[in-house]
């Protein structure tokens, strides 16, 4: 039976061979959707462009259209790179952004995982090893979500 599998990949581990191999293996017999992150890279671009970096309980705060465009551009670049690495696998690579009317709304990738909870059979979140405990806290009560540190 084909399973629906959601995999969220932190931008900090997106190029790791073990992550890519895991995605490819899961995609052999399942429908796989990957959410790509890029938080660290977004932060670096914000610094470079002189944008203030602020967070609240929902994630990074963007106060201007320019900031939302930066987030979108960085995420789309990561999406393109990951799609290129996964050509021929059938994997759908998405970014955590929705458009409500004409407003770009980036969504914290972890919140995006939670939003898909009822539709997926298996869910994985790849992050850096030193962030495992924090991610496990975020996904407490979401038993399908497995946090994997690399």
Q: Considering its fold, how many domains does the chain have in total?
A: 1
- Give domain status of residue 132, yes or no: no
Write the CA distances from 144 to 76, 120, 121, 136, integer angstroms: 27, 9, 7, 12
- Give domain status of residue 120, yes or no: yes
Residue 81 burial by Cβ neighbours in a 10 Å radius (0-12, 13-18, 19+): middle
Average pLDDT over residues 107-132: 94
Q: Are strands 103-106 and 97-100 parallel, antiparallel or unpaired?
A: antiparallel
Structure tokens belonging to residue 118: 């009822």
35: containing domain: 4-125+142-149
- Give domain status of residue 135, yes or no: no
Average pLDDT over residues 39-57: 87
| Average per-residue pLDDT for the chain | 92
Structure tokens belonging to residue 143: 């038993």
Q: With the C-alpha atoms ordered 53, 38, 109, 136, is the resulting torsion angle positive or negative?
A: negative
* pLDDT score, position 98: 86
Average pLDDT over residues 83-88: 94
- Give domain status of residue 131, yes or no: no
Give per-residue pLDDT as tens, 54-81: 887 777 888 888 888 898 999 999 999 9
* pLDDT score, position 99: 85
The predicted model scores a pTM of 0.91
- Give domain status of residue 96, yes or no: yes
């Amino acid at each position: 039976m084909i399973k629906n599998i959601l995999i969220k990949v932190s931008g900090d581990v997106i190029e790791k061979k073990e992550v890519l191999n895991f995605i490819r293996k899961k995609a052999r017999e399942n429908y796989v959707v990957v959410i790509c992150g890029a938080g660290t890279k977004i932060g670096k671009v914000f610094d470079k462009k002189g944008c203030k970096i602020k967070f609240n309980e929902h994630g990074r705060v963007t106060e201007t259209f320019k900031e939302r465009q930066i987030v979108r551009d960085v995420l789309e670049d990561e999406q393109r790179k990951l799609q290129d690495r996964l050509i021929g696998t059938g994997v759908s690579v998405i970014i955590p952004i929705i458009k409500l009317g004409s407003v770009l709304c980036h969504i914290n990738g972890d919140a995006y995982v939670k939003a898909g909870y009822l539709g997926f059979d298996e869910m994985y979140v790849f992050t850096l090893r030193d962030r495992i405990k924090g991610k496990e806290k975020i996904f407490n009560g979401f038993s399908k979500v497995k946090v994997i540190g690399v």
